[in-house]
Structures are given as structure tokens and as C-alpha cells.
Chains A and B, each alone.
Chain A
């Protein structure tokens, strides 16, 4: 087996607030090989963004803290690194694009200056070379007339264009891993399609590993090789994209997939998940999904299910996953 480029084991990130400890990420584990795309999907507050911030060690401390777990990037435990070593990894090894492209760029510098700054921080090049590279990057991400656009300010660009600049910025030092946190949520569908296409093209070109975080099952299905489903801070299911959608084993995954109105099927009534995501300060005992699950029994309410391996690529955290599967099959 190829050695994974990123290995996350038992990651736990807690926030210590006045009201109590919020276990935003509570035991997330996965492995990624070079060139793979991992999609992390879940509803708001499930801890998917905090997972991404933890990988980049960008969780605000205080109140947040990575309390345990391992983040191994190329055999290096990122949790052991000091500030300076970590900033070398950010941008160079792992870089990130954020949800709101307009808000993630500095409004007071031109886009060119922002890219040049990143390149010069990480690489030993002079300003002219860096600027040349910035123009090339803008061209790579499909911005027309990059020679003149390099000198515009973010407010002169549309949302889609800003997101392209963010991607150019993230790619400026050829990172191994690109983390995209809801990269298209703020964009229109036609622009979204272009950005997703762009990410796939660049992935092929640079053999990049991508972690894409979104609540949109359509985006996940379109982009991912592997998918992790998160619920209330836990990874409840992890599988390759095809088996996750064709044979979801966790009741939450199945209901999530069924609750989305679809373009390609007629569909009468939407399947709903009763209730709502639990308050992170008052998580239910046992399985965290038990109060919304129709398969829940006594065991689910008292014991927390482990992360069980079904086959080499499919993991699920549910006592009743076999029953679930028979339901899907019939």
C-alpha cells in the first residue's frame, strides 16, 4: 500500500466556553493518499470546518484547543511543530481556501501584491519573478487579461473571480494538500460549476490532494474519491464515493441523501429527519444520532458505537448498520 500523505488519528478539538466544553471535533480519523480527494459532508455545527482549521493548526486558542490525536503529514506530526515550522507548512505543504472569497482577501492590497507576498515568504525569489509567477497563476485559474488584473483590488472583482484569486493564492507555492472549506457556497450555480471544474483540472495538473468541506451532497458527489460524513463532532461514516451513495450504512447518511430534493428523479415527498442537530453542550448519551434515528434501540441510548470497519474502504459508526443495509437492499 502507498504511504498516506496525510494521516489523522483520533483528532479531538474542544472549545472551552463559559457555558461548558464544546466538543466540536470528537475523534476524527482518516488517511489520504496523494492525488485523492476527500469530501467531508455534514450539517452546520457538525465540526467539519473545525476539522479543517485543526489540520492547519488555525483553531483560535483560547477558547479552542486540539486536546488529542495525531495529524501526520508526510510522517511529520503537525501537532509537535512550533509556530515557525508550522507557518512553513501552511502555504507550502497544506493550504486552504475559505467560504467567503470576498471576505478572505485583504481589501487594502491589490490581488497581485497578496500573491507576491505569499510567494516571497515561502520561496527565495526576487519580486519580478514572483510577480511573473502571480500573473501565470491568475492565468492558470482562468482569469481573463491576467497582466492587468494583477493590479486590481478585490472589490473590483466578482465573487467567482475572487474565489479564483483565492485558489491562485492557495496554489502559489504548489502545496501538496489543498483544503477547501465550502469553496462554492457563496456562489451561483453556473459559477460553482466553473470553480469545481477548475479545481479538478488543477488537481490533475499538479497531482494535488484535495480535502473539500461542504454541506452540499451534489458538490461532494461531483468531486470526491472518498467521503466522510460528520455528525455532532464525530465521523459517522467513511467510504469511497460510489459505495457511500449506493450503500450508505449509517442511518444518518441514508436519510441525509434521501432528504435532498433532486433534479434527476421525480420524487414525491421528501424524507425528513425528525428533530434537529443536538446542542453541542448537551449531547445525547450513547450514539449521538439516537434521538433522531428510527433504528435506535436500548443499546444505542446507553453505549457509544465504535468506528467499525466493514471492508477495507468502508467504515461506519452504528450498531445497526447491518439492519440498515438490508433495508437499503430491499
Chain B
């Protein structure tokens, strides 16, 4: 495959959720969770998808992995139309595109031990021939994500949040995916542990040339891990560009507001930022009619 060719291509993707009302549960309205987004991810690249709660970033991830069916639009993976896949082809696609979830406490089955959690995808996709091979591969994966092999027979409750997230990473890694969709992988973790998981994900990317779609609300984390960043607001992508450009020279007023809202861990920069903020507020009146930001409830 050509290096410049994109791995995943998303075109005008839409996901509307119907709103029901009345005795007959008629559809009275639609919530436009994802309202026509387009982007591409190249092999080995990290695209950060940022936005505030309710902007549709998680729904976008779920639609791409076919956990939720799209309303309209196209998703193609290596030139293959993802939205029409079924049966064996869909299974093959899901092997190549894996998910890491936000909440390490709810995304692991409490009744399975680590060997089964990490081993299950190997079994499902027929990647190992027997139990012995499977255990050996699981041990290898645990070692790769920095967990000891003795933990093999422990259950999720015996692990801390950071360790659980490592198990989640090992599970995603088991099937050697090309793309991992990481939905807020570190937002539930403490700062010191967050850094460990972020570093691990970066190491794995270098080693296996994995592409990430990193969904997050924390702009600083996204800046740290991404090559390019897309900013989402009310179901639409309002700005997407290389990370240096986005952070040094944000063009969309929403991106500017978002960036200036992040408190910096340095008291010396407090005053400087206050001035920036008033600058953005002055821009408020200049939003064009038709832009979602214009009519948004600015609570």
C-alpha cells in the first residue's frame, strides 16, 4: 500500500437519532449527533478528534466501527466500503480496526480473568491453534504493555485503573490491528498514570505502525499524541489541520475559544491568558449566520 494513501476515509458521515413522542411513538424530531463529517487517516498516523461533551465525537467512533449504524455518508477502509460489510468481511474489518474504551472499570468483563479477556479475540479470529499457543501469546502481549505474566489468572477487580487500561490496550493489540480507535483512553486516569499509558500508546505506534483515531476532550493530551487534529462542535468538524498549525494559529473562533479556555499549569502565564480571552469574546459578534456556533446556547 502506498504510504500517502489513506487507511480510513470518512465522507459526509451522518448519524441522526430519532426522537419519539406520543402514544404511537411517532418520530417527531431528530438529534443530529454526527452531521456530515469528513476526514482521512493515513497508516501509522494519529488523528485527534476533540470536542466538548455532546459534540458527537464518541458517536463518530462507534459508527466507524459499525457498533452503531450510520444514517448517511461513507466510510471506506483501504478502499473497501465499510458501511455495507456483513458477515465474514465485517469480522475481518473488526480485526483490523480495534477500540479502546474510556472507562477501564466498565469495559472489562468482571467474570473473565486476564488470560480470557486478552485471549478471546485470538480465539474468535482463529489466530492461535490451541490453548498453549494462546497463553503464550497473551503472556507476550502482557509483557508488551508492561504487565507481569503472573497476572494471567487474575480478575479485573484486582487491578488499578492504569493497569486495567493496559489490559484494554493488550486486548486491542492482540489481533494486530492497523487502526485503533481510542475513545478517551486516559481521561479516567490520574495524571501520573495517564502519562504512563500515553507513553505506552506512542511506543506501540512506533513499533507496529498502528494508526490511532484518538477521541478526547483534553486538548493538551491531544496535542501531545496527535499528528493532525480535528475539532468537532455540535456534530460537525469545524477545523482540521496539522497539530502545529491548529495550536499555533487556530482559525476557527470555536477552536480559539476552546484553546484559550484551557488553564495552563503555570501561574506566570495567568495574566497573559486573561487578555487573550477578552480578545476571543470580542470576536463573538462576528460569527456568520448559518454557523452552528452562532445560535448555540452559550452556557
Chain A residues at the B interface, C-beta cutoff of 8 Å: 43-44, 158, 160-161, 188-193, 196-197, 215-222, 224, 241-242, 245-246, 255-257, 259-264, 267, 269-273, 276-277
Judging by beta carbons under 8 Å apart, are B277 and A193 in contact? yes
Given A161-B299, A215-B190, A276-B162 in contact, is the A270-B199 Cβ separation under 8 Å?
Answer: yes
User: Which of chain B's residues has its CB closest to A222's CB?
Assistant: B263
Q: 16 interchain pairs (CB within 8 A)?
A: A188-B52, A193-B260, A193-B263, A215-B191, A218-B263, A221-B267, A222-B270, A242-B268, A245-B268, A257-B265, A260-B191, A264-B269, A269-B199, A273-B192, A276-B190, A276-B193
User: Which of chain B's residues has its CB closest to A258's CB?
Assistant: B195
Judging by beta carbons under 8 Å apart, are A242 and B162 in contact? no
Q: Closest CB of chain B to A14's CB: distance in Å?
A: 23
Given A188-B53, A246-B268, A272-B199 in contact, is the A263-B192 Cβ separation under 8 Å?
Answer: no
Does any Cβ of A come within 8 Å of B85's Cβ?
A: no
Q: Closest CB of chain B to A147's CB: distance in Å?
A: 18
Does any Cβ of A come within 8 Å of B19's Cβ?
A: no
Stretch at the interface among B63-71, B91-99, B119-127, B213-221: B213-221
User: Which of chain B's residues has its CB closest to A225's CB?
Assistant: B267
Write out the residue numbers on chain B whose beta carbons fall within 8 Å of the beta carbon of A246: 268
User: Which of chain A's residues has its CB closest to B54's CB?
Assistant: A188
Kindly state the separation between the CA atoms of A255 and B190 in the bound complex, as whole angstroms. 13
Q: Closest CB of chain A to B254's CB: distance in Å?
A: 9
Chain B 262-277 interface 0/1 with A at a Cβ cutoff of 8 Å (1 = within): 1111111110000001
Q: Closest CB of chain B to A276's CB: distance in Å?
A: 5
Judging by beta carbons under 8 Å apart, are A245 and B266 in contact? yes
Interface size counted on chain B using CB atoms at 8 A: 40
Q: Closest CB of chain B to A319's CB: distance in Å?
A: 21
Chain B residues at the A interface, C-beta cutoff of 8 Å: 52-53, 160, 162, 190-196, 198-199, 202, 217-221, 223-225, 247, 257-270, 277, 297, 299
Given A217-B265, A260-B265 in contact, is the A190-B193 Cβ separation under 8 Å?
Answer: no
User: Which of chain A's residues has its CB closest to B50's CB?
Assistant: A189
Q: Closest CB of chain A to B151's CB: distance in Å?
A: 14
Given A221-B265, A241-B267, A242-B268 in contact, is the A270-B52 Cβ separation under 8 Å?
Answer: no
Contacts A189-B262, A264-B264 aside, 8 further interface pairs with beta carbons under 8 A come to A189-B261, A219-B263, A256-B192, A259-B194, A263-B262, A264-B269, A270-B224, A272-B195
Kindly state the separation between the CA atoms of A168 and B265 in the bound complex, as whole angstroms. 28
Judging by beta carbons under 8 Å apart, are A263 and B259 in contact? yes
Judging by beta carbons under 8 Å apart, are B198 and A189 in contact? no
Judging by beta carbons under 8 Å apart, are A193 and B261 in contact? yes
Given A160-B299, A188-B53, A270-B198 in contact, is the A43-B264 Cβ separation under 8 Å?
Answer: no
Most chain A CB atoms below 10 A, which of B196, B218, B220, B266: B266
Kindly state the separation between the CA atoms of A217 and B264 in the bound complex, as whole angstroms. 8
Write out the residue numbers on chain A whose beta carbons fall within 8 Å of the beta carbon of B52: 188-191
Q: Closest CB of chain B to A275's CB: distance in Å?
A: 9
Write out the residue numbers on chain B whose beta carbons fall within 8 Å of the beta carbon of A269: 199, 202
Judging by beta carbons under 8 Å apart, are A224 and B267 in contact? yes
Write out the residue numbers on chain A whose beta carbons fall within 8 Å of the beta carbon of B202: 269
Given A215-B191, A224-B267, A242-B267 in contact, is the A261-B261 Cβ separation under 8 Å?
Answer: no
Q: Closest CB of chain B to A48's CB: distance in Å?
A: 12
Judging by beta carbons under 8 Å apart, are B199 and A217 in contact? no
Kindly state the separation between the CA atoms of A188 and B53 in the bound complex, as whole angstroms. 7
Cross-interface CB contact of B266 among A221, A255, A271, cutoff 8 Å: A221
Write out the residue numbers on chain B whose beta carbons fall within 8 Å of the beta carbon of A197: 277
Judging by beta carbons under 8 Å apart, are B247 and A263 in contact? yes
Kindly state the separation between the CA atoms of A197 and B220 in the bound complex, as whole angstroms. 20
Q: Closest CB of chain A to B163's CB: distance in Å?
A: 8
Q: Closest CB of chain A to B101's CB: distance in Å?
A: 19
Kindly state the separation between the CA atoms of A193 and B160 in the bound complex, as whole angstroms. 31
Write out the residue numbers on chain A whose beta carbons fall within 8 Å of the beta carbon of B225: 261
Kindly state the separation between the CA atoms of A188 and B187 in the bound complex, as whole angstroms. 13
Q: Closest CB of chain A to B165's CB: distance in Å?
A: 12
Judging by beta carbons under 8 Å apart, are B190 and A222 in contact? no
Cross-interface CB contact of B264 among A189, A218, A224, A273, cutoff 8 Å: A218
Cross-interface CB contact of B224 among A160, A245, A267, cutoff 8 Å: A267
Judging by beta carbons under 8 Å apart, are A158 and B299 in contact? yes
Write out the residue numbers on chain B whose beta carbons fall within 8 Å of the beta carbon of A193: 260-263, 277
User: Which of chain B's residues has its CB closest to A217's CB?
Assistant: B265
Judging by beta carbons under 8 Å apart, are A255 and B264 in contact? no
User: Which of chain A's residues has its CB closest to B200's CB?
Assistant: A272
Write out the residue numbers on chain B whose beta carbons fall within 8 Å of the beta carbon of A257: 265
User: Which of chain A's residues has its CB closest to B270's CB?
Assistant: A222
Kindly state the separation between the CA atoms of A196 and B218 in the bound complex, as whole angstroms. 17
Kindly state the separation between the CA atoms of A217 and B190 in the bound complex, as whole angstroms. 12
